[in-house]
Amino acid sequence: MFPWKDKNSHKKNESNLTRGLFLKNESLKPLGDQIHNYIELNSIDLHKALEEFSSYGISNSKLTQFLHLKSIEAKIETNTESIFESSQYYVVIDESLSENKKKQYKEALDRNEFDNWYEKLKIRFYITTEWIMEDWAYKNNLDYEDYNEISPFSPQDCKVDGVDIDVKTTVSIGSYHGLPYFTRNNQVVKDEVQVAITSSVPKSDDKYSHHFILGIFDSSNYELINLDLNFLSIDSHLKNPCYFHPLQDYFFSSYQYENMDYDKDVIEYWLQSKNITAIAYSISNPLGYFENALKSKIGEAHYGLITIVLELISKKSLYLLPHYFADYLIQKIQKKENIEINLKDTIFSIYKPNEHQEVYIDNLFKLFEILPKVRCKWHPEEGIRDMEIKFIDGHIPTFQAVCSQDPEKQTTIYTYSWKTGQTLIYSSEFICSSPECGGLTHKRKDYESKQMKIYCKASCNKFGREAHKSKFS
């Protein structure tokens, strides 16, 4: 029998003293040693162990820190799941919407001068996504005011918890993806708080539509961040999914975690088996041990990214990481610098992006990987080493390899299709066959003729927009 469990009081007092000294001694050891050599060895539950320490008046700060991290990790997981669930909407317009929105839908259809299905679908989607914003606000007990109820031409759609919001959506039908989140007016681009919600239907007349709340963009969230965005600027007219972050982070302070100080050995032990997220979300000062831990995971070539992560942690703005990460990758690509492939996993283990952000970032990695295969369309001996890379802003950007002999000759290596909205990435066989065009083509079965057709950039004289109008329709 263990002496401290002995009922004999004399022996018990004596063994209490021994036990106390033993525990005191344990509590000072590095966390890994405590857990391996004492707690796990005796199959003691971590919470029970901490209780025993405190019953002897011993504060085991290392174990306390570890349990705190575990509770934060669990909260982050729950939050991530609930953000995902509350962002998904399946809508039947005649049934799901509120009475007000049904009325606005009917009025908007009556007001509509264009008698075509596409315009009607756009109306259906913008009313539906406004309703989703309304529904989300009510489900989260936030004040909601519908400006469209007063005027359908109101520049802002609604006010949620005191914030004026413009709801933006995309139109996707089957494999076609429309151009999203375009804002014309410069001042509006700067001042407007936007909520982006995707809209898609399998077929144009489908009763059900699927929607995903990508999140919110508010340029004031960037004011305190001491970092530059070189390509994906906050006043861009065309925003991609990486600009938007969860509504929950924006509206609820409960999505922030208290500032903690962790011992070096606690950080080291945690990072052996768990991912960085819980520490990144709660550490009060990320410099020092944590910074070193990051450096052990991220190669020297990417220390610039560590600066980004540390700044976002210290400003409690980790949700902006997908935006800064995408911008960082574009800069690396444009400068033709190396990108380590495991970088993505490390960054995603600090902040988990949504699936749309992941696709956007994955595609940038694909672009990086094909760079060595790129050849100038006009001079096959000319590789990417000899050429500059030109970036053109867009919700999906365009990258072109510029000929070193004639800068007017540009080979497109990354872009989107004006026909289907899909991302196109270089492969030598997809380069346009028209002698003067360096565009990227893709094939698509024509809806009416059922024939495969080739599409190049909109301005291409052989496979562009006009060419398709005159020759093919």
Binding site for Zn ion (CB under 5 A): 376, 378-379, 382, 403, 405, 432, 434, 437, 439, 456, 460
Q: How far is the CB of 379 from Zn ion (least distance, A)?
A: 4
Closer Cβ to Zn ion, 231 or 378, answer by number: 378
User: Given the complex with Zn ion, which of 102 and 379 has the nearer CB atom?
Assistant: 379
Report the nearest approach of Zn ion to the CB of residue 126 (Å): 34
C-beta of 308 vs 432, nearer to Zn ion: 432
Closest CA to 177 of 131, 212, 216, 133: 212
Say if residues 65 and 283 touch (Cβ distance below 8 Å).
Answer: no
Tell which phi-psi region holds residue 229, choosing left (phi > 0), alpha (psi between -120 and 50) or beta: beta
Distance of CA 448 to the CA centre of its chain: 37
Which residues are CB-neighbours of 345 under 8 A, at least 6 positions away?
none
CA distances, 70 to each of 66, 270, 350, 429 (Å): 6, 9, 15, 51
Whole-number minimum distance, CB 471 to Zn ion, in Å? 13
Nearest to 444 by CA among 205, 206, 201, 176: 176
The residue count of the chain comes to 473
Looking at the Cβ atoms of 13 and 461, the one nearer to Zn ion is 461
3-class DSSP string for 395-411: CCCEEEEECCCCCCCEE
Cβ atoms < 10 Å from Cβ of 254: 10
C-beta closer to Zn ion: residue 282 or 412: 412
CB 233 within 8 A of CB 303: no
Nearer CB in complex with Zn ion: 37/405: 405
Contacts of 217 (CB under 8 A, 6+ apart): 193, 194, 195, 196, 239, 243, 244, 245
CB of 335 to Zn ion, least distance (A): 20
Question: Which lies closer to Zn ion via its Cβ, residue 8 or residue 405?
Answer: 405
Are 78 and 278 contacting, i.e. CB atoms less than 8 angstroms apart?
no
CB of 409 to Zn ion, least distance (A): 6
Nearest CB to Zn ion, comparing residues 278 and 437: 437
Render the burial of 436-458: b for 16+ CB within 10 Å, e for the rest.
ebbbbbbebeeeeeeeeebbbbe
Smallest separation (angstroms) from Zn ion to the CB of 391: 19
Task: Between 149 and 436, name the residue whose CB sits nearer to Zn ion.
Answer: 436
The pair of three-digit structure tokens given for residue 46, joined into one six-digit string? 């971590």
Owner of token pair 């080739």: 454
Backbone Cα Rg of the chain: 28
By beta-carbon proximity to Zn ion, the closer residue of 68 and 379 is: 379
Tokens of 133: 């914003």
Nearest approach, Cβ of 366 to Zn ion (angstroms)? 21
CB of 274 to Zn ion, least distance (A): 50
Angle between the 355-370 and 343-350 helix axes, to the nearest 10 degrees?
160
Maximum Cα–Cα distance across the chain: 103
121: left (phi over 0), alpha (psi -120 to 50) or beta: alpha
Task: CB nearer to Zn ion: give 246 or 464.
Answer: 464
Nearest approach, Cβ of 468 to Zn ion (angstroms)?
12
